[in-house]
Structure 1
Amino acid sequence: MDKEKDHEVEWLEAQKIEISVDLLAAAKQQLLFLATVDRNRWLYDGPALEKAIYRYNACWLPLLAKYSESSSVSERSLVPPLDSEWIWHCHRLNPVRYKSDCEQFYGRVLDNSGVLSSVNGNCKLKTEDLWKRLYPEEPYELDLNKVDSEDISKKSSALEKCTNYDLVSAVKRQSPFYYQVSRSHVNNEVFLQEAVARYKGFLYLIKTNRERSLKRFCVPTYDVDLIWHTHQLHPVSYCDDMEKLIGKVLEHDDTDSDRGKGKKLDTGFSKTTAQWEGMFGTRYWKAGAMHRGKTPAPVTTSPDASDVLVKVPTAKEDIQNLIQFPEVEVVEVLLEIIGIRNLPDGHKGKISVMFSKTRPDSLFNAERRLTILSEVGEKQVATFQCEPTGELVFKLISSSPSKIPVSREPKNLGFASLSLKEFLFPVITQLSVEKWLELTPSKGSKADQKPISLRVAVSFTPPIRSPSVLHMVQSRPLWKGSCFFPIMGKSRLAKSSTHIVDETQTEVITLQIRNSIDGAKLKDDQRQVIGVIDSGETRVLADYAGSFWSLLDSKWSLKQTNASTADNPLFELLGPRVVNIFSGRKLDYEPKHCANLRSDQDFMTLVEFSKQHPYGKAVGLVDMRFGSIEVKENWLVLPGIVSAFILHTVLKKGVFDGFNVTTKEIKEESKPTKLVAATENKLNAYSTNVETAAAITAPKKGSGCGGGCSGECGNMVKAANASGCGSSCSGECGDMVKSDATASGCGSGCSGECGNMVKAENASGCGSGCSGECGDMVKAAKASGCGSGCGGGCGGGCGDMVKAAKASGCGGGCGGGCGDMVKAANASGCGGGCNGECGNMVKAA
């Protein structure tokens, strides 16, 4: 208890650090500015960037130096052009260099006091007038049509006051930052308040290190880094505050980006984590503040700022009201079990914690295991998504009860719960909780035994709307050769129905392509999509107009583009908004960390283009192989369902105008199937990348990498009840798990070889995405082979993969033949995506 009080004292001391800036308001301003810059990506590279740097040195800084302290403009605020403000932003994020440059050329640090951002809609006329007087030949706003690299180089070399700091490199280092902080929860008031408090804790660590003459490279999480950037953008305040705190201006080293094991960032983050948790007694990781992975590749290098006016439909004309689908909120959760008190004798070294939810949860309906930090000495952090309702339930399990040596059944020592609603409704009160939970003893416990308590640390993001995931269930087979556009040939369509169901398998609507009305056959250019809702009402949802489909009373149209390469959109969905449909997984849906979970040709990404998102925003994903669609926005649900149905139903040949847009042809004799996505896969798809592997490593009886091990996992876990990589080991997992029962191999995304990964009973092999052949992977009872989808193939590769009762082999998407893969009752196939060599992964009874 004394130690806990010491932690509280240290935290309170950290919160006394004085900062002369309203960091919360300024952080919101920075997020707004970064979003605006990201809509103008010519500022990231090329001649326009070089011209912006020239204008910053030649025009903005001299103007700022001349007028920022002038009495003639004391009542006016200066507003820099967007390009100059961006370069100024990046220059200030090296505070030591910015200070020395300003003092060298202008005799003082040029501050942002009296300067307003160009993105706030402020009047720029006064600044424009000053600019024109000083620089009559240089327009205030950068003219992208008049950018001459050779001319810029000559002018820059002639400048007397020009920093030799490499601003091009500084810009390239800062350009990816917005992606890491661009999620909606980052702008939440409580999230930012906690970020400011954590920033003070971060500075307190640095201050303590300096006082003890310790040289440590402290690495921030992204919430802390956002606030640190915000502070630096106020250079005079930052310099003054740091001088008072540590006696000098604190450097901001952004030159390292290698997160590999053993690298500077990796070891720095591990040491920062250890120092933080030792100093304050709370967790350093935070939900929604960890590294998201590499910035996705853009779908286009040219902005497409659509002028389409978004019309909000009235209740009467909103055809979207035809269907009812569940709107689910979601929070991202990080969970760690820190310690235990009053554990009875005989159980030490044999305990773990099972956690689950108390109520049905469409996002998280599993029971998962965690070890206890104080018992194993190494970190195990669970990351998952769930609904922000109900309670998290913790059950303490002993693997071998004392005094009953003949029993091998785990014993339940008690349970406790933590309410999510308490912290999130009706308003968010806090997003990080660390507390002792007293367990309710199980039946049979001694009456005089002291209550057992667990120290539980939980962090969650503010709730946001969860994407709607809907599945197409075919009730009758389809005819081959279905046509979509005239270039595909003409043939009749089967009279089949497709039921659209949500993830609870509740039917949303039934769709059918109709080629006749009252027995009269329609012409080839008069196909219709019919929708039947719960009431039995039938509506025409789409008409084929000869060269395109008209959807939802002509509010939308779906047509083929003239794409010349697979990088261009294959289709356009046009209506109140502009949505392009690309082959493969793009933007936020781009696979993380591992190259090939499944073939990209199985998917189509729906990307919205608008003034707000000129480079595109991923709003939906169609899985052509499994017949499902994920939709992020309510307005897209119905047009998205109809479009996905049309694409999935009629694109059967595998080639559309020269592009592979789907997989093999669906056979006429195929049986009706119900395709429901696995919850665990969905959790993995959205799992948070936990900064570095060294910070959150695999314990005995634990899990391996959290999310995103960027190096090789090696012989990572060699203990009972252990799991291997969390999500996305981008190196080789090696002989990762060599232990007792109930062990699992790779989590999601081992892009290397899994090797002889699991050799135990009740064991599972790869999670999702072992990128090799599964081979004779599972030969045990109740064992599972590849998690999701032996990607190119189980193809001759799975062989006799599962030969036991209640075993699962390949789930969905074995690229080739699975062979005699499953020879047992209650067995299932591949998940989706084992693309490499899993080897003889499981060899136990």
Structure 2
Amino acid sequence: MEMEQELEWLEAQKIAISLNLLAAAKRQLQFLAAVDKNRWLYEGPTLECAIYRYNACWLPLLAKHSESPVFEGPLVVPLDCEWVWHCHRLNPVRYKNDSEELFGRILDNSNVVSSVQGGICIKQTQEIWNKLYPDEPYNFDLTRALSTTTNEKFLAVEKYTKYDLVSAVKRQSPFYYQVCRSHFNNDIFLDEAVARYKGFLYLIKRNGEQSIKRFCVPTYDIDLIWHTHQLHPIFYCKDLSEALGKILEHDDMDSERTKGKKLDIGFSGTTKQWEETFGTRYWKAGAMYRGRAPSPLTTIPFLPNLLRKDVLASNECQKMIQLPEVKIVEVLLEFVSVKNLPEGHKGCLFVRFSKKQPDVFFNAKQKLTILSESEEKQVASFQCEPKGELIFELISHSPSNLLVKNAFKTMGTASLSLQDFVNPISKLTIEKRVELLPSSGNLSSKPICLQIAVSFTVPIQAPYVLHMVHSQSLSKSSYLFPFPVQHAKIWTHINDEYGSEIISLQMRDSAKGKTTEKSILKKQVVGAMKSGETRALAEFMRTHWSLMDSQWCLKFKTKSDEDGHFCELIGSRMIKIFRSRKLDFEPKYCEKQRNKQDFFTAVEFSAEDPYGKAVALLDFKSATLMVKEEWLVLPAIVSAFILADILKNERYGGFIIKGENLEKLDGNVEKVSRFHEEAKQIEQATSVESKLELNEAAEVVVVGCGNRNMVKSGGCGGSCGGGCANVVKSGGCGGGCDGGGCGNVINNDGNGLGGMVESADCGGCGASCVDKTSNETNIGNSHIDSSPIESATYATEGTVV
């Protein structure tokens, strides 16, 4: 940073803010998380009822309390009213005008406590509320809201804002998804965000002084702090009036990110002005646009109430496997300029970068142009372990002589130690000039210097990425699928990303009691630990699978279910397993689309996540399992193995053989042909009754037939998830399968990181998304996007000055 630019930055930091923005931002994040667990506040009649309560009850009570406190201590605002109030205040000029017009003064939150904090004052607030509004309960009543016509009640409201609060809520609802990742709660990240917010205000001030009209667009770290400031109306009006001479508008009306549109032009202009004024990069790791929020699984929150209370997340079975502790960071990297090139140098320059010690997330060499040389901004977005060194090679090449052997020439190298910056974390953004060590024959009087800008997120626990490898070949390319029938002596080895074996699994048929013709065969999953110990990890119980000494129950649905899940894993937590990639694992627009049948997504439902949280992704095509939570690793491994055993039966054309081991079919063309003919007759039957009758008489049970009414007794516990819902009759298979694909696994922010994208057309790329050079989905491998970031990487709102 040049001296003049340093002075500009120091001047920006003198802007006075009247409240602790860091602490207030954390409270805002806590509140937004609470609202997101109550998504009925986002739209529909329940939102309209909340708006009525806000106008008819909350604002009058707040006005009364601010003029003459109704009791000692702060008011506690109900959640629904607080959400509407939140969105109203995010139009600060309109809110100020509405408050003064309706109540004669700005209604502030200086004597108000958030609904998520509550405290002893909530009881006093309820008492006052009930006296003032006996017909309107303090706590929002969902049932009542759905049965009440709000428009009729609004006619009796004496004072209310004409501001379109429904539209305001719709615009603000997607914001939490952009700021919900864990690093937004980190003090270092927020400290830097506050400083960047002051820099943002300073640019607007400079524009005003120079009569420059520009739509300034914030990144999401700046936007979070800007929102936080606006939520304190009196402080915001005072601070902005002193700093800028006016109250700053907050324009959130534009959401179109297409190149050449208002947001795109505004962000490009803000980036250019920022970098010219302060000499630092405007982009920041973890603060860029993540793309649209994933599609919800349900609009109705699910709160499981039948979970095992006696099961602990950590138990003896969990300790059977050892997992490596791996941290991961998101990195943004740009090469700004190069100095001291040899006199008379000709040719184009670029920088090739890699890790000196490649890790499982970043193991390739990539290249970027240099801004000062190409006049094209390129920023690489990738993820890696926060250790080792980044290596940079300055390459010169002559486009006119690409066929010449020495057309590409290395002019020098440099390195950057990751540990120096993230362990411990001192700052998350570094811009420095590094001297290149010259290659042989490239000696000059002055060393070549490369200006590097790099930004990190706070290190987090990486997801566990596991591979299922067939025992007949331990190479990584020998995956579980396509899979022959599992023979008794064949093991499936579960390896971590480093190739180390964690556990081996085998499916066995074990007779209960003495071995006779009438013995009941029970299926078991047996695990062999690295210690040499072998023990049963799962057993088929006729209606379900019992896992890990009954710690978990894997149950396949036997009837149509509204949310369409394939099976459930129930223990101390509730996990529903869906076919295809869901929630955070949804494929992004820029990914090569894969068959949905290749994937399953495990989604946890809890009080913290009533709409579901994606916790694991199973890719059957590559036999890869990604698990976000340590407590889920072993149950997920065993469940995936059982699913694999079930799904392998699809190779027999959509039927399962009653009471017969599938291994006996290998090479028996006559039997397979006969079973295919029986299955065809069942599928062609015109009524459910005739299907059931044929199914009963045949030697097969048909799956994948598209009829959910064909539900038989739960002899096996499996079901057809592909529209048939037919339960397999015997324990020969261990479950039924849907012929069309069970669930797909997705990875946008599977690791909690979001990548940057080239343009608004893509809509955001997950940090474990897709390498555009190979066009293949990568779980756990590096994703590099060295494209310009002039679009689709910023917040959805700005201000014109």
Shared topology, TM-score over 0.5?
yes
SS at match of 1:133: helix
SS at match of 1:122: coil
Q: Residue 322 of structure 2 corresponds to which residue in structure 1? A: 324
Q: Residue 431 of structure 1 corresponds to which residue in structure 2? A: 428
Alignment counterpart, residue 32 of structure 2, candidates 34, 42, 58: 34
Q: Residue 762 of structure 1 corresponds to which residue in structure 2? A: none
| 1:165 correspondence with 2:163 | yes
Contact 1:335 1:381 in 2 (8 A): yes
Alignment counterpart, residue 59 of structure 1, candidates 57, 60, 68: 57
Flag the 1:629–1:362 CA change in 2: closer, same or farther, 3 A. Answer: same
SS at match of 2:166: helix
Flag the 1:726–1:343 CA change in 2: closer, same or farther, 3 A. Answer: farther
Moved more, 493-502 or 270-279: 493-502
Flag the 1:389–1:454 CA change in 2: closer, same or farther, 3 A. Answer: same
Bigger proportion of residues as helix = 2
* AA aligned opposite 2:357: R
* Distance in 2 separating the partners of 1:284 and 1:635: 39
| 1:286 correspondence with 2:284 | yes
Alignment counterpart, residue 115 of structure 1, candidates 101, 112, 121: 112
* Distance in 1 separating the partners of 2:205 and 2:194: 17
Q: Residue 80 of structure 2 corresponds to which residue in structure 1? A: 83
Note the 1:800-839 alignment, pairs <5 A: none
- Give the superposition deviation at 1:517: 6.5
Q: Residue 600 of structure 1 corresponds to which residue in structure 2? A: 596
SS at match of 1:90: helix
Identity of aligned residues (%): 56
Note the 1:183-582 alignment, pairs <5 A: 183-307=181-305, 308=307, 313=312, 317-400=315-398, 407-425=405-423, 427-446=424-443, 448-476=444-472, 494-516=488-510, 526-564=522-560, 567-582=563-578
Q: Residue 666 of structure 1 corresponds to which residue in structure 2? A: none
- Give the superposition deviation at 1:748: 6.8
- Please list every run of 5 or more consecutive structure 1 residues that lacks an aligned counterpart in the other structure: 478-490, 663-680, 691-705, 713-724, 729-746, 750-766, 769-783, 790-810, 813-830, 832-845
In angstroms, what is the RMSD of aligned CA positions?
A: 3.1
Please list the CA deviations of residues 500-531 of structure 1 after superposition, one character each: whole Å capped at 9, or x if unmatched: 11122221111000113699599666100011
Alignment counterpart, residue 711 of structure 1, candidates 748, 753, 761: 761
Flag the 1:651–1:689 CA change in 2: closer, same or farther, 3 A. Answer: closer
**TM-score for the superposition, normalised by structure 2:** 0.80
* Distance in 2 separating the partners of 1:653 and 1:240: 70
* Distance in 1 separating the partners of 2:465 and 2:89: 43
Please list the CA deviations of residues 531-569 of structure 1 after superposition, one character each: whole Å capped at 9, or x if unmatched: 111222111110111111110111001011245268421
- Give the superposition deviation at 1:213: 0.9
* AA aligned opposite 1:17: I
- Give the superposition deviation at 1:423: 1.6
* AA aligned opposite 2:166: V
* Distance in 2 separating the partners of 1:637 and 1:661: 29
Contact 1:354 1:397 in 2 (8 A): yes
| 1:652 correspondence with 2:640 | no
* AA aligned opposite 2:560: S
Contact 2:434 2:452 in 1 (8 A): yes
Q: Residue 618 of structure 2 corresponds to which residue in structure 1? A: 622
Please list the CA deviations of residues 271-293 of structure 1 after superposition, one character each: whole Å capped at 9, or x if unmatched: 11111111111000000000000
* Distance in 2 separating the partners of 1:661 and 1:496: 32
| 1:589 correspondence with 2:577 | no
Note the 1:679-698 alignment, pairs <5 A: none
Flag the 1:148–1:350 CA change in 2: closer, same or farther, 3 A. Answer: closer
Moved more, 4-13 or 317-326: 317-326
SS at match of 1:119: coil
* Distance in 2 separating the partners of 1:661 and 1:686: 32
* AA aligned opposite 2:384: C
- Give the superposition deviation at 1:79: 0.4
* Distance in 1 separating the partners of 2:9 and 2:383: 29
Moved more, 340-349 or 7-16: 340-349
Please list the CA deviations of residues 789-824 of structure 1 after superposition, one character each: whole Å capped at 9, or x if unmatched: 7xxxxxxxxxxxxxxxxxxxxx99xxxxxxxxxxxx
* Distance in 1 separating the partners of 2:442 and 2:92: 61
SS at match of 1:550: strand
Flag the 1:166–1:349 CA change in 2: closer, same or farther, 3 A. Answer: farther
Q: Residue 665 of structure 2 corresponds to which residue in structure 1? A: none
* Distance in 2 separating the partners of 1:444 and 1:388: 34
* Distance in 2 separating the partners of 1:183 and 1:41: 19
* Distance in 2 separating the partners of 1:369 and 1:618: 34
Flag the 1:688–1:220 CA change in 2: closer, same or farther, 3 A. Answer: farther
Flag the 1:47–1:562 CA change in 2: closer, same or farther, 3 A. Answer: farther
Contact 2:588 2:765 in 1 (8 A): no
| 1:103 correspondence with 2:104 | no
Flag the 1:367–1:309 CA change in 2: closer, same or farther, 3 A. Answer: same
Moved more, 492-501 or 134-143: 492-501
SS at match of 2:648: coil
- Give the superposition deviation at 1:440: 1.7
* Distance in 2 separating the partners of 1:687 and 1:578: 21
Contact 1:469 1:629 in 2 (8 A): yes
* AA aligned opposite 1:97: R
* Distance in 2 separating the partners of 1:262 and 1:546: 61
Alignment counterpart, residue 22 of structure 2, candidates 21, 24, 27: 24
* Distance in 2 separating the partners of 1:201 and 1:643: 51
- Give the superposition deviation at 1:422: 1.2
- Give the superposition deviation at 1:68: 2.0
Moved more, 191-200 or 359-368: 359-368
Q: Residue 176 of structure 1 corresponds to which residue in structure 2? A: 174
- Give the superposition deviation at 1:148: 4.7
Higher relative contact order (CA 8 A, sep 6+): 2
Flag the 1:173–1:403 CA change in 2: closer, same or farther, 3 A. Answer: closer
- Give the superposition deviation at 1:411: 2.1
Please list the CA deviations of residues 162-197 of structure 1 after superposition, one character each: whole Å capped at 9, or x if unmatched: 111111111111111101000011101100000000
* Distance in 1 separating the partners of 2:499 and 2:723: 27
* Distance in 1 separating the partners of 2:555 and 2:416: 50
* Distance in 1 separating the partners of 2:436 and 2:309: 53
- Give the superposition deviation at 1:658: 4.7
Please list the CA deviations of residues 602-644 of structure 1 after superposition, one character each: whole Å capped at 9, or x if unmatched: 1111001111111111000011222221000000000000001
SS at match of 1:6: helix
* AA aligned opposite 2:175: F
- Give the superposition deviation at 1:593: 2.4
Contact 1:572 1:578 in 2 (8 A): yes
* Distance in 1 separating the partners of 2:104 and 2:641: 67
SS at match of 1:557: strand
* AA aligned opposite 2:496: D
* Distance in 2 separating the partners of 1:250 and 1:385: 37
Contact 1:383 1:687 in 2 (8 A): no
* Distance in 1 separating the partners of 2:402 and 2:60: 82
* Distance in 1 separating the partners of 2:398 and 2:303: 64
